[in-house]
Structure 1
Amino acid sequence: MLVSSRRPAEVPEWARLQRSLFAQQDKAWRTFADRYTAADGRLVFAGTLGEGSDDRDGVDDFYEAFFNWPMLYLLGGSDDLLAASERHWDGVTAQLTEMGMLVDGYERGYDWFHQGESLLFFYARCLARPGGARTEQARRFADLYLPGGPNYDPEHRIIRAPHNGAGGPRWGFGDHEVAFPWSLPLRPYGLPLDWLGYDSFDELVADPAKARAYGREMWDRMGRGDTFANVLSTSLAVHAWLLTGEQRYADWVAEYVGAWRDRWAGGPVVPDNTGLSGRVGEYLGGRWYGGHYGWSWPHGLQSMACAAVVAGTNAAFVTGDDGFLDLARNPFDVALEQAEQRRPDDVGSVTDRWTKHLAGRGDRPTLMVPHRRGDAGWFDWNVPPTQYLIWLWHFGRADEDRRRVDALRAGASWDWTAVHDQRTKEENGHEEPWFEYLAGRNPRYPERALRSALATSEQRLDDIARDDTDPAAGPSALDIHLWQHRNPVVTEILLQLTTGTPQVLYNGSPAHLHLRWFHGDGVRPGLPDDVAALVSSIDPDRTVAELVNTGDRPRTLVVQGGSFAEHRISTAALDDGPAEDVGGPRVTVRLEPRAQARLTLALELRAATPTLVSGA
């Protein structure tokens, strides 16, 4: 055990702010639960889903309201938060089952862009308390996608439809005949199959016959076969592997991601679709673009990059083969080959992430890349989605990925050190100033970021206090995105500062925490009461964390290398003391009252087999 009794003259400001944020979060989740949930944990909602042309949508919106609550517990939230999270999981699951949206506790069938959002809540539960019902659920959910399950064709190595789930392939885009499965809010994105000869969105809205014909084309060309977004399903198998230790889950991840890598081999761009025979472009005239949530769909690079990073890191994680990371890099490399300096008013879709970053710049150009591809070429210029490249660099710590991030920074005319008070539903947007902090170019980031998180949560609490929504009005009057817009729990900054980790990828990545903290018993996860932690360096060969006990009682804590004990701690040292040999995933530290210490760890990244199996 390492022991520190060194007392600073005063508690550092970042430590005081961090403990204040933990205290505010304890108030925040209770306020949300009191206002929006029933006694059994379900959301107060006097309506049903499963009606009309959007009859497959909505499961994600119910789970998303709580997606980061188990993560807050894991970081050091209150003792009763995990039990509350379990109650809300059970309540919402029962609620959605009653609506016919789930089968045996799992999504009946929808796209993986949304399934991944739903499952962040589940993945965080597995990490916060592995074992028990979560292990059985992880096995059952993942088996839906392995050979022998209803969705996967092992002969062609494909998931058979873009919409899939517990009911197997769910062909097309809805359960009823839909003339034109393209809702009005998507008008700014244009038509996804621009080569079919239809002039415009408005043309189809005005002509029912053309709308029916176009709808039929979409069903036939995009509603069957595999789509690249389906690789997000590999996160289910990764968690089943971690919780059970069964190799078949890791083997399937390698097989399925390997299939997409093979389809990319010999071509410049990762394709976004295959037919039922496994052939790229089978229903799209040979085109590698045009698949559901692919290169032509709204978001384009945003969706493809996220799926590629999740797939590549998942396969590398379970196999130890970092060659899979090349799949993750390809969408960025293709986009960056065409990068240009453009003015902010050229920004196309997906603007929320960048609105505050680009504000106040006038008409100065900044680095932008095309996000989508159609027959006329690449289009839809926007700021590159930095968060995915930073996540990729964080996972592998490869020099080439850091150079990619540095290239984005060099081309940006906006301030990478600025901290904005913002809250997208992904709860990201601070990756750039955090990256600059780790690089030594943004020393005041911890204090500024913590104040921003406090302000964001407080604003959400104010919104809740002023909300006069009547759940009895039903879905006609209630936006089912209300709850995720009101969720006052904020974990992005706590993840960055206490664990050295960027925000998890919202469409379904495992939480690859650089460090994990436990109470002195090594069981209860999170920082103990009064303790603050600040990870200031995550270089491949050295990790540095400042620790402060802000209270008047001694505190003992355990640090673990990686979410899943996959990083081996070679040596550990406090302050300028000698480095002690460790040779395992954990070290225990005791902080005397009001003590502060600098903990330096020599880590071997991914040197051990990852696991969530108890006693492994």
Structure 2
Amino acid sequence: MFENPLPPTQTKQPLTSLKATRRSTAPGWAVKQRQLFDLLNESAKRFIAKYTRPDGTLIWRSDWPGMDGSDDPYEGFMNLALLHALGGDDFLHEASRRIWEGITWQWTEYGQIHREFDAYYDWMHHGEGYLYVYFLGLSGPAQLKDRQRAVRFANMYIGEDPEAPNYDKEKKLIRSPLNGSKGPRFTVSAEDWSTHRGILDHYLAPYEDIPGVEFASRKCPWSNDTVYARLIDMMNERMNRGDVPLNLNATGLVANAFLHTADDKYKQWVLDYLAAWCERAERNGGFIPDNVGLNDVIGEYNEGKWWGGYYGYRWPHGFATVIEPIVNAAMNAVLLSGDREKLGLARQQLDLNWSLSKQEGDKTVVPYKRFDAGWTDYREASARYPIYLWTVSMAAEDLERINRIPKSYNWDEVVIPNVSGKDALTGRDTKHFISNTEPWFRYMTGELPDYPDRILDANFKLIAKQLDRMDSPMGDPAQWSANYNDDDFSSIHIWQELCPVYMESLVQLTLGAPMHISHGGFQHGRFRYFDADRKQVGLPQHTAALVEQLSDTAATLQLVNTSLLESHTVIIQGGTFGEHEIATAEVLGGDDGPEIVAVGSKWLQVELAPGASIRLELGMNRYVNQPTYGGPWTEQPEPLLSGRSL
């Protein structure tokens, strides 16, 4: 329970205010940060102009078959909303909403979306695409459409939408790995997977006993019509009914409804669904099973095997796509409940995976897959998942989970990420161009003091690379092939590959947190900001922020006004969703204001005179407030619309 529950809406109230008055030369990181905002704003305009129509639809092909695909255009444009939430230009607010509407309409016409939500696909892809919705929540103020959709989408997963019976309330399970606005998809057709066949030719087979497929080859010829027909039949028989851990990513969609409404039924669903998977893991001796049937029987359609489910331990990516949704759900549960013990399932699975580690030469490796013969596909453990847990818990045990992983590559190396996959130098994941979680962690623990300048420099270089790609033949929509299996130019990932609006540096430095987990994680953070003069989300113009250090009970934050002519007033919020209380504020190393002031609120106002800066030690009580998308001026929302009851 929250110690200091707050209503979902706030009215204007007096705020504790500090004032910085002394002019000084802005530090280099602050100047770069503001220059980066300017570059991102202008790059966003170019990107929108080149790849969208005035109505928000994308300049693309006239058809798109199969069930895959609605997530990818959302991923390509979702950072417009996130940039606005951080302090990007006002035009981004309207543009991000118009393009969401355009994509949703366009992919409805293609056939993937129904009732504004993907008709049926899995929660790896739902998770990626509906980040856009979560970022729109941060890019507030919330509109009626935002709140209405949040409730409608969540009801598809909590058993309150008869058109989308995805959830079994009694057994607390999502009834298929393939789900959406049309409900569970127990039986797929050859057309459903048609856009993936060429890609999946290079993947491991989903099963070890597919006639005509040599499993040991680690390849499966989906393009072979005979093999493809057998695959579809086997997946319908073994894989498309029942629940999988991947569905834990749905907790983000339901938590999104809570952030908009504060309705406890959404919070309770998140907690209950996570608890159901905790029980399944306990029933399975600790390891979370990757498939349960419609009767909540482990391995019900899989010869009793607890491995081998959809996006499970065997196919296609193994442990990474098992642990990610667990971490996402655990962090969501902490956000909604304030109980950091909800990280337990994620910690347990990381520890069990680590218990299977072994030495291969000079490297410590852990299994990423389980075949019928046992654990296999040994690789180095990722530090990213325990780092996410540590940002929530600030606990010594999670710090130990990070530090037990050998640094076989240089964690101090700041990477300019590749388009997708893994960075060749470090092996770090680069999905959504996120690749510098480890060096950010090193900075937070005092080991990499020059990180802010280095990550900002790397971000500039990434944007330059992306602008070059936009200007190349690859960036010309007229050059894109009509063949949907041609990876060179027709890939539905094209907008992600060309988008210049990436800002890992801004998220890390201003919010004090790593970037979101790419497959459906909220953008958690120690702080969020509002422009008090304009009553807008994000940092005011000319204002830069740097979170220098984190602990369980405090954070060090520096604010700089880079303008020598204009004053700005910024409101600091404790937590991305207002979940933290700022208890006290101590001004460090300056003559402005009292040494320590009591705050006792989720908000603290700081007035920055022209050229002024301030460095603060903020005492914090974390996870004591009811989380919400709302800000300091959120008004009582209009009631949701009610449709006919027939």
Match of 1:421 in 2: 416
Alignment of 1:338-417 (within 5 A): 338-342=356-360, 365-408=362-405, 411-417=406-412
Match of 2:76 in 1: 65
- Distance change >3 Å, CA 47–CA 473, structure 1 → 2: farther
Secondary structure, aligned partner of 2:606: strand
The reply on whether 1:128 has 2:139 as its aligned counterpart is: yes
Alignment of 1:10-49 (within 5 A): 10-49=25-64
- Distance change >3 Å, CA 43–CA 471, structure 1 → 2: farther
The reply on whether 1:546 has 2:558 as its aligned counterpart is: yes
After superposing the two structures, state which structure 1 stretch, 425-434 or 493-502, moved more: 425-434
Match of 1:229 in 2: 246
- Distance change >3 Å, CA 565–CA 181, structure 1 → 2: closer
Secondary structure, aligned partner of 2:614: strand
After superposing the two structures, state which structure 1 stretch, 431-440 or 328-337, moved more: 328-337
Aligned partners of 2:95 and 2:279: how far apart in 1? 44
Aligned partners of 1:29 and 1:334: how far apart in 2? 44
Letter in 1 for 2:55: D
Aligned partners of 1:540 and 1:258: how far apart in 2? 25
The reply on whether 1:324 has 2:342 as its aligned counterpart is: yes
Match of 2:505 in 1: 493
Match of 1:334 in 2: 352
The reply on whether 1:247 has 2:264 as its aligned counterpart is: yes
| Aligned partner of 2:206 among 189, 192, 199 | 192
User: Contact 1:544/1:598 (CA < 8 Å) preserved in 2?
Assistant: yes
| Aligned partner of 2:236 among 219, 223, 238 | 219
User: Contact 2:439/2:451 (CA < 8 Å) preserved in 1?
Assistant: yes
Match of 2:426 in 1: none
Shift of 1:7: 3.2
Aligned partners of 2:73 and 2:225: how far apart in 1? 33
TM-score scaled by structure 1? 0.91
Shift of 1:208: 5.8
- Distance change >3 Å, CA 174–CA 601, structure 1 → 2: farther
RCO (CA 8 Å, sep 6+): is it higher in 1 or 2?
Answer: 2
The reply on whether 1:458 has 2:464 as its aligned counterpart is: yes
The reply on whether 1:2 has 2:13 as its aligned counterpart is: no
After superposing the two structures, state which structure 1 stretch, 329-338 or 261-270, moved more: 329-338
Aligned partners of 1:203 and 1:417: how far apart in 2? 38
Aligned partners of 1:203 and 1:85: how far apart in 2? 39
The reply on whether 1:608 has 2:608 as its aligned counterpart is: no
User: Contact 1:45/1:471 (CA < 8 Å) preserved in 2?
Assistant: no
Shift of 1:330: 2.6
Match of 1:277 in 2: 295
Shift of 1:471: 6.4
Alignment of 1:76-87 (within 5 A): 76-87=87-98
Aligned partners of 1:603 and 1:174: how far apart in 2? 53
The reply on whether 1:107 has 2:107 as its aligned counterpart is: no
Letter in 2 for 1:320: G
Letter in 2 for 1:575: L
User: Contact 1:243/1:612 (CA < 8 Å) preserved in 2?
Assistant: yes
Aligned partners of 1:304 and 1:81: how far apart in 2? 34
Aligned partners of 1:460 and 1:472: how far apart in 2? 17
The reply on whether 1:482 has 2:477 as its aligned counterpart is: no
Aligned partners of 1:26 and 1:260: how far apart in 2? 42
After superposition, give the CA deviation of every residue in 1:117-142 in whole Å (9 maximum; x if it has no partner). Answer: 01011110012112421000000000
Letter in 2 for 1:193: Y
User: Contact 1:419/1:433 (CA < 8 Å) preserved in 2?
Assistant: yes
After superposition, give the CA deviation of every residue in 1:76-132 in whole Å (9 maximum; x if it has no partner). Answer: 111111111011111111111111211111100000100000101111001211242
Aligned partners of 2:291 and 2:133: how far apart in 1? 28
- Distance change >3 Å, CA 322–CA 90, structure 1 → 2: same
Aligned partners of 2:524 and 2:36: how far apart in 1? 23
The reply on whether 1:523 has 2:523 as its aligned counterpart is: no
> What is the number of residues matched between the two proteins?
587
User: Contact 2:156/2:180 (CA < 8 Å) preserved in 1?
Assistant: yes
User: Contact 2:328/2:521 (CA < 8 Å) preserved in 1?
Assistant: yes
User: Contact 1:497/1:534 (CA < 8 Å) preserved in 2?
Assistant: yes
Aligned partners of 2:483 and 2:23: how far apart in 1? 56
Aligned partners of 2:315 and 2:291: how far apart in 1? 12
- Distance change >3 Å, CA 523–CA 216, structure 1 → 2: same
After superposing the two structures, state which structure 1 stretch, 319-328 or 584-593, moved more: 319-328
| Aligned partner of 2:158 among 126, 143, 146 | 146
User: Contact 1:528/1:557 (CA < 8 Å) preserved in 2?
Assistant: yes
After superposing the two structures, state which structure 1 stretch, 594-603 or 195-204, moved more: 195-204
Shift of 1:611: 2.0
- Distance change >3 Å, CA 207–CA 115, structure 1 → 2: closer
User: Contact 1:568/1:608 (CA < 8 Å) preserved in 2?
Assistant: yes
Alignment of 1:303-318 (within 5 A): 303-318=321-336
Shift of 1:43: 1.0
Letter in 1 for 2:68: D
Aligned partners of 1:372 and 1:186: how far apart in 2? 17
